[in-house]
A and B are shown apart, each in its own frame.
Chain A
Amino acid sequence: GQQLNQSPQSMFIQEGEDVSMNCTSSSIFNTWLWYKQDPGEGPVLLIALYKAGELTSNGRLTAQFGITRKDSFLNISASIPSDVGIYFCAGDDYNQGGKLIFGQGTELSVKP
Chain B
Amino acid sequence: EAGVAQSPRYKIIEKRQSVAFWCNPISGHATLYWYQQILGQGPKLLIQFQNNGVVDDSQLPKDRFSAERLKGVDSTLKIQPAKLEDSAVYLCASSRLMGVYGYTFGSGTRLTVV
Tell me which residues across on chain A come within 8 A of B95, comparing CB atoms: 98
Interface segment among A11-19, A39-47, A56-64: the answer is A39-47
Interface assignment of A74: CB less than 8 Å from any CB of chain B: no
Given contacts A42-B91, A97-B48, A98-B31, contact A92 B99 (CB under 8 A): yes
Roughly how many angstroms separate A45 CA and B50 CA in the complex, as a whole number?
Answer: 21
Interface assignment of B108: CB less than 8 Å from any CB of chain A: yes
Contact A40 B107 (CB under 8 A): yes
Tell me which residues across on chain B come within 8 A of A105, comparing CB atoms: 40-42
Contact A97 B99 (CB under 8 A): yes
Tell me which residues across on chain B come within 8 A of A102, comparing CB atoms: 41-44
Interface assignment of A100: CB less than 8 Å from any CB of chain B: yes
Contact B105 A43 (CB under 8 A): yes
Q: How many residues of A contact B (CB 8 A)?
A: 24
Given contacts A42-B91, A42-B107, A45-B103, contact A97 B98 (CB under 8 A): yes
Question: By CB atoms of chain A within 10 A, which of B9, B50, B105 has the most?
Answer: B105
Contact A97 B56 (CB under 8 A): yes
State how many angstroms separate the Cβ of B67 from the closest Cβ of chain A. 15
Contact A99 B106 (CB under 8 A): no
Given contacts A100-B45, A105-B41, contact A42 B105 (CB under 8 A): yes
User: Can you name 14 extra interface pairs (CB under 8 A) apart from A42-B108, A43-B105, A97-B48?
Assistant: A4-B42, A40-B9, A43-B91, A45-B103, A88-B42, A97-B50, A97-B98, A98-B31, A98-B95, A98-B99, A99-B45, A100-B100, A102-B44, A104-B40
